[in-house]
Amino acid sequence: MKKTITLLFSLCTLFLPTKAELAWKTGETLTTNASPITANSSENDSRKGNINLLFIGNSITAGATLSNASTQAPPILCRALVEQATGVPTHVFNGGHSGITTLGYLPGREDFKRIINNAKAFKKENGGLMYISIMLGTNDSACTGTEGAPVSPEAYAANIKTIINALIDSVPDCKILLNYPIWYSPSTYNGAKYLQEGLDRLHSYYPFLDAIAAEYEQVYAGHRGVWEYFEYNIPLFTKENGKAGHFYLHPNQAGATRLAEIWTKSLLKLIAADGIKVKNPLPE
């Protein structure tokens, strides 16, 4: 029986990450050479001497609206936070792709191939442990303007399961963190039309994610409270102009930092369960 990971939020100031490149467009493997923050990394099993993180997501994962996504996007921040917490060299591939729906990450599509290719490269070059984060659904929920929109909750769940099954087949020893999509304002209407109808559809995906996380031994649910957290913290979003007035869809730098912290706390639970000592846990 799987336990849903619960998290507490922290509003603490975070250390900035080391510079890494956002590489989904080229399919490059993203790695970092930062030294562990903690001096005595020998406490952690040398067999697990590297942590590999791969992120599947949309423009929020990619770092849209940030001034420098290569250093400020949530996956890049996660890499630095995980390494800081464990003292273990940590590597990241940010597969965030603006505008993508679950259909764009189905097996055989280029974005899925990039994740698998990078996972295999990490395994060959680094060894260690493999964690794959998924946060999709925002663009599925659109009324028009994105691939397959609107994607029904049933179709969304089927696509997520297809992605998960293919990930497990291709990377059998991975653990998958299934993160819940965050709230956006009901005025959201840019190149795609979301509005209240899309927002309601997005929230209807939540019970399906609950069920999927409970079904798989290798899949763990992220923090469900991200919806309310971002809904009631509008200053964490970039204010954007759209066809229905101002809207809030993409986290700004402060919001990306908070999202990275939330994801990191979930990841550290999985990492600790795999025998890596969390020496410098994030404050609760």
Residue 174 near residue 167 (C-beta atoms within 8 A)? yes
pLDDT of residue 284: 77
Residue 16 near residue 66 (C-beta atoms within 8 A)? no
Confidence grade of residue 24 (pLDDT, cut at 50, 70, 90): very low
Confidence grade of residue 71 (pLDDT, cut at 50, 70, 90): very high
Alpha-carbon span 92 to 78, nearest angstrom: 9
> Helix, strand, or coil here: 213?
helix
Average pLDDT (108-135) is 97
More confident residue, 77 or 39: 77
Of 17-31, 83-97, 257-271, give the lowest mean pLDDT range.
Answer: 17-31
Alpha-carbon span 249 to 259, nearest angstrom: 13
∠ CA 185-189-190, rounded to 5°: 120
Residue 8 has pLDDT above 70, yes or no: no
Residue 193 near residue 144 (C-beta atoms within 8 A)? yes
Mean pLDDT of the chain: 87
Name residues whose C-beta falls within 8 Å of residue 161's C-beta, 6 or more positions apart in sequence. 212
CATH architecture of 42-273: 3-Layer(aba) Sandwich (3.40)
pLDDT of residue 49: 86
pLDDT of residue 46: 45
pLDDT of residue 161: 98
More confident residue, 36 or 146: 146
The pair of structure tokens assigned to 86 is: 């464990």
Burial class (CB in 10 A: 0-12, 13-18, 19+), 244: middle
The pair of structure tokens assigned to 147 is: 């691939």
DSSP H or E run through 170: helix 153-170
Residue 214 has pLDDT above 50, yes or no: yes
Confidence grade of residue 48 (pLDDT, cut at 50, 70, 90): low
Residue 269 near residue 222 (C-beta atoms within 8 A)? no
What percent of the chain has pLDDT above 70? 83
Length of the chain measured in residues: 284
164 — phi, psi (to 5°)? Answer: -60, -45
Do the bridges between strand 129-135 and strand 51-57 make them parallel or antiparallel, or are there none, so unpaired? parallel
The pair of structure tokens assigned to 93 is: 């591939």
Residue 26 has pLDDT above 60, yes or no: no
Residue 63 near residue 69 (C-beta atoms within 8 A)? yes
Residue 29 has pLDDT above 90, yes or no: no
Which residues face 220 on adjacent strands?
177
Residue 39 has pLDDT above 50, yes or no: no
Residue 200 has pLDDT above 50, yes or no: yes
Q: Percentage helix, strand, coil, to 5, in the chain? A: 40, 15, 45
Residue 9 has pLDDT above 70, yes or no: no
- pLDDT tens, position by position, 129-162: 999 999 999 999 999 999 999 999 999 999 999 9
Average pLDDT (189-202) is 98
Confidence grade of residue 283 (pLDDT, cut at 50, 70, 90): confident
Q: How far is CA 175 from CA 21, 65, 91, 167, 215, in A?
A: 24, 30, 15, 10, 14
